[in-house]
Chain A
Amino acid sequence: MATPENKLAFDGGWDYAPAPESTDHARIDKRYGLFIGGDFVSPEKGRYFDTINPANEQKLARVAKGSELDVDKAVKAARKAYAGPWGRMKAKERGKYVFRIARMIAERSREFAAIESLDGGKPIRESRDIDVPLASAHFFYYAGWADKLEYAFPGRRAKPLGVAGQIIPWNFPLLMAAWKLAPALACGNTVVLKPAETTPLTALKLAELIADADLPPGVVNVVTGAGDTGAAIVTHPGVDKIAFTGSTGVGRIIQRALAGTKKKYTLELGGKAANIIFADAAIDQAVEGIVNGIFFNQGHVCCAGSRLLVQESVADEVIQKLKDRMETLIVGDPLDKNTDIGAINSKMQLEKIDSYLEIGQQEGAEMYQSSVSVPKSGYWCRPTIFTGVAQSNRVVQEEIFGPVLAIQTFRSFDEAVEKANNTPYGLSGGVWTDKGAKIFKMTQSVRAGVIWANTFNKFDPTSPFGGYKESGVGREGGLHGLDAYVRLEA
């Protein structure tokens, strides 16, 4: 908003004209069955649930609610494909199928992007420029590994594990499906995938694509449903590996459930990343990094820079610039190409975020929100910052998974390290300074799996991703991501 103090009043009081992405090219069926054994089939118990558009609360489709019976069917289909055509196929040929998926996602990218934004609420700019291209790139990257695994594991022979059960979250529905499926398939496994309850559509569209790509039936199975469907996958004795992305709470339950079984697992769990700004940083770039760190994808990002640690001498300047920048962020229609922050993914998530806004204030922190107007229907949260927080405050320690930033200050390098590492999480971190030596010292000191130096929230298929401490076990992406889907023989 244009105020005398705000140096970033680009709009000068004028509104942006609407620039909506059309959706007439995107086909969404009224009802989706489960994708098992190469076909869409009705759920055994005949139950369905609605998936809605969180931006207007309108129903998009009916989606099958998979039961234990359906999971069992899917696991059997996956086993059959593993014992049959997929297991027998030469690695080189297997790889070509994965390449084919990559290319077909690129061909259908516009449809995927539109549906991703409709079903999940994320801005079309992000689904179009980040989620969908990265999903395609992920398949393309791992496809090439299929016949080169002997170079990835020197001195060992890499064998597939069998049937992988994969449970993915709602924040990057298609991209997470790609992160899970691509390495699993490239390494020769078959898969039962469960998309999140609130965002099943792009996984189902991907199932259609996989059928069109002519993969042998049962190599990929998609079973939609909620938590109990996921639990049925985790506990099914015919599953050899579990890959889960989601909260640390659920990850802990899964790790316990797998105790005493031979199932391998990878867990990508929560985070509470510190974005550390030193006084000698390029401040304007750092402010952009803060905005990207916490407001990207409505803050529904496990590696979000949800804590800002700013050196005391520049704290006032940084916070003022951040507030100015927050005023320019457009919250609204996810399909509008000008939108910066889309809809909160679900009513449940909005309630969780709102409860943390209460908690933060009750704990004595000062809350500031931008003055942007938000639509009347749908689920929305204005970009929010908390200042005056203590290390022990819940908004500092716990993952909120929304556009909410907790700001702390520090004086010395050591204090920044101490505060950065003082949570149970260790997924990611950021550091901003113009000094190379300081960058290396800080990137070595922060106990986290991904560190962005003078940048934030960058992703690439070749770049391993995953956490230290309670942020998880294992890596996804890159050479190191192969390890999750093979067993090594001498």
Chain B
Amino acid sequence: MVAAHERVPVAKTYKIYIGGKFPRTESGRYFALEDKKGKVIANVCRSSRKDFRNAVVAARGAQPGWAKASAYLRGQILYRVAEMLEGRKEQFVHELTIQGSTERQAQREVDASIDRLIYYAGWADKYQQVFSAVNPVSSSHFNFSVLEPTGVVTILAPNDSGLIGLISNVAATIVGGNTTVVLASEERPLSAVSFAEVLHASDVPGGVVNILTGFRSELTEQFASHMDVNAVVYCDGGRKVAKTVQEAAADNIKPAISRRGVDWLSDAGASPYLIRDTQEVKTTWHPIGT
């Protein structure tokens, strides 16, 4: 209750993010997110398989254009995302706090998230040079290997982290020209939705990042099995989840990339090898002669 003379705050509707738009789940379902005391903080979209399929269509549509953007531009856009997040620090700290973090933890996580975006922005025009090669073949050919984005990557974001885990995985994936569909933390979904709003205000083309909220139990297998997805990243779960993801991934021989047990706040959560995980190596041969 708000006292009679006070202003009534406007509660935010947390929606999902597909193709640069903020729809509600097509299913109309929700789950209530509660704070420690059991008070409802927000009604969160319980996304359906259909939402997921729609998101894959959006991600596939955006992928060629995003991959064609210059590395410099992708770096600048990621930097822009960091700038936007810096400007909304208070909102994110607040959201993490109401989802269970202490003020200090929340502060640290938001700072680290901004820095993580800057870190990957800096890699945009460098990882290619680190991981590419000119190969000294014995025959008279010019032969070189470069990285190319694998395409559409699904991410089952870490459940125990509302922001830094999601941002680390998304940034490492899109900086290399992939597009992605992310399932946000089930326990802490609010920051993911607000992060979508940051992306939306940061020149990230619609469809490059698509963020769904919902139940792991309902969507994990779909994220792994979809035939128009090129790789799946999963960050939680025991052997059973790993088995489900890997088995489903085999439908179209997509790599299932396990990032379980990573401390995303630490430096271990930041590496160009995470970029490389969702890249393919393409080798080109051309004769040398007249």
Contact = CB atoms under 8 A, between A and B. Distances in A.
Contacts of B253: 248, 251-252, 255, 267, 269, 469-473
A468 B251 CA distance: 14
A464 B141 contact: no
A258 B256 CA distance: 11
B145 A463 contact: yes
Contacts of A470: 252-253
B169 interface: no
A155 B272 CA distance: 10
Query: For this complex, into which size category does the number of interface residues on chain B fall?
Result: 35 or more
Contacts of B283: 449-451, 463-465, 478
B145 A464 contact: yes
B246 A454 contact: no
A17 B148 CA distance: 50
A237 B245 CA distance: 20
A465 B283 CA distance: 7
Contact of A462 (B136, B150, B244, B281): B136
Contacts of B255: 473
Contacts of B243: 259-260
User: Size class of A's contact patch?
Assistant: 35 or more
A466 B145 CA distance: 11
Contacts, number: 114
B135 A462 contact: yes
B5 interface: no
A424 B272 CA distance: 29
A455 interface: yes
Interface string A454-490: 1100101011111011111101001110000000101
A478 B145 CA distance: 9
Contacts of A458: 137, 139, 141, 285
B286 A453 contact: yes
Contacts of A452: 284-285
B281 A260 contact: no
A50 to B, nearest CB: 34
Interface in B233-290: 239-240, 242-247, 249-253, 255-256, 268, 271-273, 280-287
A248 B245 CA distance: 19
A454 B287 contact: yes
Interface string A437-453: 00100011000111111
Interface string B113-140: 0000000000000000010010111110
A137 interface: yes
Contacts of A450: 282-285
Contacts of A251: 253
Contacts of B137: 458, 460, 462-463
B249 A137 contact: no
A47 interface: no
A156 B271 CA distance: 10
A154 interface: yes
B250 A255 contact: yes
B143 interface: yes
Instruction: Report which residue of A443, A460, A472 has the largest number of chain B beta carbons within 10 angstroms of its beta carbon.
Output: A460
B286 A154 contact: no
Contacts of B220: none
B145 A480 contact: yes
Nearest to A490: B268
A381 B130 CA distance: 46
Given A424-B252, A460-B135, A258 B246 contact: yes
Contacts of A444: 148
A455 B141 contact: yes
Nearest to A473: B255
B273 A453 contact: no
Contacts of A256: 246-247, 250
B242 A453 contact: no
A448 B282 contact: yes
Contact of B133 (A248, A443, A479, A488): A479
Contacts of B130: 154
Interface of A: 137, 154-156, 248, 251-252, 255-256, 258-260, 267, 269, 424, 439, 443-444, 448-455, 458, 460, 462-466, 468-473, 475, 478-480, 488, 490
Interface of B: 130, 133, 135-139, 141, 143, 145, 148, 150, 230, 239-240, 242-247, 249-253, 255-256, 268, 271-273, 280-287
26 contacts: A155-B272, A156-B273, A259-B242, A259-B250, A260-B239, A267-B253, A269-B253, A448-B282, A449-B282, A449-B283, A450-B282, A450-B284, A451-B283, A451-B284, A452-B284, A455-B285, A455-B286, A455-B287, A460-B138, A463-B135, A463-B145, A464-B281, A472-B253, A475-B281, A479-B135, A480-B145
